[in-house]
Amino acid sequence: MLKEFLFDICSEQFVAGFEHLNGHILTKYFEPYTDSLEKDNLGSYIFKAKGTNERKIMLAAHIDEIGLMVTKILEGGFLSFTSVGGINPASLVAQEVTIFGKENIFGVIGIKPPHVTSEEERKKPLKLKDLYIDTGYTKEEVEKIVKVGTIATVKREAIALQGSRISAKALDDRAGVAVMLETAKELKKISHKSNIYYTATVQEETGQRGAYASGYKINPDIAIVLEVGFGKTPDMPSHSPGLGKGPIVSYGGRFNPKLTKKFVEICKKYNYPMQYEVVPARTGTDAEALQINREGVPCILLSIPLRYMHTSVETVDLADIEITGKAIARFINELDNSDLEEILCF
């Protein structure tokens, strides 16, 4: 089911700022395991599973993805564009895109062929403004479908690789959303006392903007932030966390040390594999916003190892998602039976 969910949801667009269009997919998968859905003012999806006590636990994973936005329509039906979130322009060359205009249309991002590109020019770093989307229409035709501000994404069907590994666009952070789904499924089985808020936040890629609002609205006792982390590839140091070895647990000032310790203990107790990373300051995750929400929210950050972040071939191991989802369910179960104040007390 995890694979089906990810193949489904990664094929749709949730570009930051435009997450309101495809929410039905989330509903379809989360509804069976939760009691209610509420969308907050900025559009984050909050699925609540009611508990029996007053405690509120927020799980947060961002649903938004990086994307492209049309800035100008040129002669010949070419489109200039900018990015929504951080993209390496080099990863866009020779890609197919879907343009979400009045209707969805197909386009490609090509580059000038070598014979009109000097050796020097080819070595120069590409900038977004050097790239164009080719729509195949005339300017007049495309103006009827596309406007300044229309968004586009790289068109990429999810690919099943060997074993339990898959490759797709937007696994940052649909992998985190998938963890929430796994936890929801698990908690439905073993029941829970706390109220659980599975929150698919918006606009993380443009500065954790959704998490500010949804954190304020939910006002949770603790938050578990689910993200993706840099999974080891040949161009990274040998100690980097690898795929298939469990969630990456973060240490640093943004995370509550005792809550983090408790999670690690539970992983050990139940034999869930895990890995560590150290993030002393800025994390670039929803924890940035949630930790300083209202009076403050103790957070932990768990990341699914992912290769080739912010490209259209992001790669994860489904086993990591499953393990993390289950470990969180266990963690919540243990918290339900302990004195949270005591755990959080400094």
Partner 1 sequence: MFNSDLMKKLSNCFGPSGREKNIRELITNEIKDYADEITTDPLGNLIVRKKGNGKKILFTAHMDQIGLIITHVDEKGFLRFSNVGGLKAKEMLGLRMVFDNGLEGVICKEELKNNEKLSMSKLYIDVASTDKEFVKKNFRLGDMCVFKSEYYETEDCVVCKAADDRIGCYILIDAIKNHPATDNDVYYVFTVQEEVGLRGAKTAGYSINPDLAIAIDVTATGDSPDGIKMDVKLGGGAAIKIKDNSIITHPEVKDLLTYLAEKNNIKYQYEILEFGGTDAGAIHTSREGIPSGVISIPTRNLHTSGEIFNKSDVEECIKLVIAAAQ
Partner 2 sequence: MFLKELTELSGVAGCEYEVRDYIKSKLREIGCEFYVDKLGNVIAHNKGRKNKTIMVAAHMDEVGLIVKHIDSDGFIKFDAVGGIDQRVLNSKAVLIGENKIAGVIGSKAVHLMTQEERGKSLPIDKLYIDIGSTSKEETEKLVSVGDYVSFKSDYVEFGNNLIKAKALDDRAGCSVILELLSMKLDADFYGVFTVMEEVGLRGAVTAAYQLEPDFGLVLEGTVCADMPEVEDHNKSTIIGKGAALSLMDNTTVYDIDIVRNIAKIAEEKNIQYQYRTSSAGGNDAGVIHKSKEGAKVMSISVPCRYIHSPVSVASKDDYNNVVKLAKEIILESQKGE
Question: Which chain residues interact with partner 1 by CB under 8 A?
Answer: 16-18, 20, 40-44, 69, 71-72, 80, 82, 84, 129, 147-149, 203, 206, 209-210, 212-214, 216-217, 289
Residue 21 as a binder of partner 2 (CB under 8 A): the answer is no
- Residues 72 to 101: which contact partner 2 by CB under 8 A? 74-78, 86-96
Residue with smaller CB distance to partner 2, 36 or 82? 82
- Residue 206 beta carbon to partner 1: minimum distance, rounded to whole angstroms: 6
Q: CA-CA distance, 152 to 307, in Å (whole number)?
A: 23
- Residue 73 beta carbon to partner 1: minimum distance, rounded to whole angstroms: 8
Residue 102 as a binder of partner 2 (CB under 8 A): the answer is no
Residue 116 interacts with, from partner 2, partner 1, none (CB under 5-8 Å by kind)? partner 2
Per-residue x/- marks for partner 2, 244-283, CB under 8 A? x---------------------------------------
Residue 156 as a binder of partner 2 (CB under 8 A): the answer is yes
Residue 113 as a binder of partner 2 (CB under 8 A): the answer is yes
157 is catalytic: no
Interface positions with partner 2 (CB under 8 A): 74-78, 86-96, 105-116, 122-127, 132, 134-138, 141, 154, 156, 159-163, 165-167, 230, 232-236, 243-244, 284, 307-313, 315, 317
Active site residues: 204
